[in-house]
Amino acid sequence: MLFEIFSVHHGCLSSAWHQPPPMSQTSLDDSSFKEHGFKVTVRSGGHDFEGLSYISNVPFVLIDLANLRKINVDIEDNTAWVQAGATLGELYYRIAEKSPVHGFPAGACPTVAVGGHISGGGFGAMVRKYGVAADYVLDARLVNANGEVLNRETMGRDLFWAIRGGGVASFGVLLAWKIKLVYVPPVVTISLVTRTLEQGATELVHKWQSVASRKVPRELAINLHIGVVDKNHSAAKGGLLGRTIQATFQFFFLGPAEKLVQVMQNEFPELGVKKQDCIEDSWVKSHINFLGFPVGTPVDILLNRTSFPKATFKAKSDFVNKPIPKIGLEGIWNMLLKEERPELIIATWGGKVKHISEHKIAFPHRGRNMYLIGYVSNWDEKNEFTTSERHISWIRELYDYMTPYVSKSPRTAFLNYRDLDLGKITINNTMASPDFHSQLLTRLHVVFFSPDDKATSKALSPRVRSVNPYKSNERDLLDERHQTKKLL
């Protein structure tokens, strides 16, 4: 773990590194930083969608947890201690070293660190079978603002509740999680099936909405990736002529290919999934195959913390709890065809995650939700600011278009897909994104206090001031976003 102190001069950053003592001796009392006017920010993996874990508009101290990456797997106890800077790939690799039939229900991207991932809920291809990653946290090590290292018992019930799904950055520096491992079968099957508009993608996506979340067994996740390609099926970057929509159906099944094919023949025969379309492998290797690496790629690629190139993008998210009609899908396709490199990343919900109480941890996205949809606009980093504004304007237009088709009262979003358009707060006169669920009015309730202890909110409220009060209707929310634009 490193402290990096940044100062801001004419839009540029300068820094100095400070190496603290070992974790067992670490004290992160931030009073000395505050005395000198530094904001404190924490980075475990650096995957914050808005970059708030490593940038600021004021001088700040970056606490970098990248070297806190030890993992201790106890197969006999079905548990593991994993430090905040360890990546999902490292965690999966270390679990597989000990057992071929143990796993953990977290995300697919191997370079994401567990610190922030789990604190925001953390979901992956086993969300329908087991729920989210935060559902399987047994204990934690957290440093508070006074420099005290707390565990589950000493931090108290309410704080332990809040850091599992509500984001940890508001409450302290997460050092490590103790997690419960889950059973995975010896054979896992993945498959990718692509269809364009000319191949009936609209009809297939429309039916997918009901099949994926409600009709197939919990062992099966059918996620969707929707993008724009030219009509020769290569990725399209510009121009409207010769472009079309391509939907990729991503199958992740905890079982053999033969059974997956049988399920699909019964529930979704229109996709025509065949055994030759499938790859059977172990749970840990399935992550490599799922990411598109060639079959036979060594498992130790999961230990590579830089296996993906950096990207410039803007993302937003929604939860959907009823099928979008075909006319709505066609409108989405028209919106996508206006943009150069858009993506929709859609994760099916239902199953186990649906049946866990929304009050068990600070992750309320249960119940009626059918799927989570992430909107992404990608562009080249070398482009100028005006180009970036054009792409950001497009994704905001798409987000507004989706209003009739997504969750309402409140409109919800996924915390780990951070989106500053939803609002900012001021803590000690410093602008920051609220580390809450973007549930607007209810999100303050969800994170600041548990259902059993509303008194906690009174203790917190004097230290937190909203830039604008959270509003309860769509017109006010649009006004809020327009005001937020000026701050970006």
In order along its 488 residues, the chain shows pLDDT tens digits of 444 443 333 233 333 333 333 444 445 555 666 677 777 888 888 888 888 887 777 888 888 899 999 999 999 999 999 999 999 999 999 999 999 999 999 999 999 999 999 999 999 999 999 999 999 999 999 999 888 999 999 999 999 999 999 998 889 999 999 999 999 999 999 999 999 999 999 999 999 999 999 999 999 999 999 999 998 755 555 445 689 999 999 999 999 999 999 999 999 999 999 999 999 999 999 999 888 888 889 999 999 988 677 778 999 999 999 999 999 999 999 999 999 999 999 999 999 999 999 999 999 999 889 999 999 999 987 656 678 899 999 999 999 999 999 999 999 999 999 999 998 766 555 555 443 333 322 332 333 333 333 333 333 332 222 222 223 333 333 333 333 333 23
Residue type for position 2: L
Q: Please tell me the predicted confidence (pLDDT) of residue 428.
A: 55
- Angle in degrees, CA 292, 294, 298, rounded to 5: 110
Q: Please tell me the predicted confidence (pLDDT) of residue 204.
A: 98
- Identify which of 90, 86, 83, 71 has the alpha carbon closest to the alpha carbon of residue 301: 90
Residue type for position 361: I
Q: Per-residue pLDDT tens for 409-440?
A: 999 999 999 999 998 766 555 555 443 333 32
Q: Please tell me the predicted confidence (pLDDT) of residue 143.
A: 93
pTM assigned to the model: 0.81
Q: Please tell me the predicted confidence (pLDDT) of residue 470.
A: 28
Which DSSP letter does residue 57 get?
Answer: S
Q: Please tell me the predicted confidence (pLDDT) of residue 370.
A: 96
Q: Please tell me the predicted confidence (pLDDT) of residue 73.
A: 97
Q: Are strands 39-43 and 60-64 parallel, antiparallel or unpaired?
A: parallel
User: Is residue 327 exposed (0-12), middle (13-18) or buried (19+ Cβ within 10 Å)?
Assistant: exposed
User: Is residue 190 exposed (0-12), middle (13-18) or buried (19+ Cβ within 10 Å)?
Assistant: buried
CATH of the domain spanning 71-183, picked from 3.30.465.10, 1.10.1530.10, 3.30.70.100, 3.30.360.10: 3.30.465.10
Q: Please tell me the predicted confidence (pLDDT) of residue 24.
A: 45
Q: Per-residue pLDDT tens for 17-60?
A: 333 334 444 455 556 666 777 778 888 888 888 888 877 778 88
CATH 3.30.465.10 residue window(s) in the chain: 71-183
CATH 3.40.462.20 residue window(s) in the chain: 188-292+306-405
- Please give the Cα distance from 5 to 16 (Å, whole number): 5
Q: Which DSSP string do the residues of 194-224 spell out, in sequence order?
A: EEEGGGTHHHHHHHHHHHHHHTS-TTEEEEE
8 A C-beta contact, residue 367 and residue 354? yes
- Segment holding 425, helix H or strand E: strand 425-427
- Please give the Cα distance from 223 to 191 (Å, whole number): 11
Q: Please tell me the predicted confidence (pLDDT) of residue 297.
A: 92
Q: Please tell me the predicted confidence (pLDDT) of residue 241.
A: 65
- Identify which of 310, 433, 466 has the alpha carbon closest to the alpha carbon of residue 50: 433
- Any residues with CB less than 8 A from the CB of 53 and at least 6 apart, and which? 41, 42, 43, 44, 46, 116, 169
The CB-based long-range contact list for 438-442 (8 Å cut-off, 24+ gap) reads: 438/411, 438/412, 438/413, 438/414, 439/364, 439/410, 439/412, 439/413, 440/410, 440/411, 440/470, 440/471, 440/472, 440/477, 441/410, 441/470, 441/472, 442/364, 442/410
- Please give the Cα distance from 203 to 418 (Å, whole number): 31
Instruction: Could you please state the CATH topology (level 3) that the domain comprising 188-292+306-405 is classified under.
Output: Vanillyl-alcohol Oxidase; Chain A, domain 3 (3.40.462)
How far is C-alpha 421 from the geometric centre of its chain's CA atoms?
17
Which DSSP letter does residue 113 get?
Answer: B
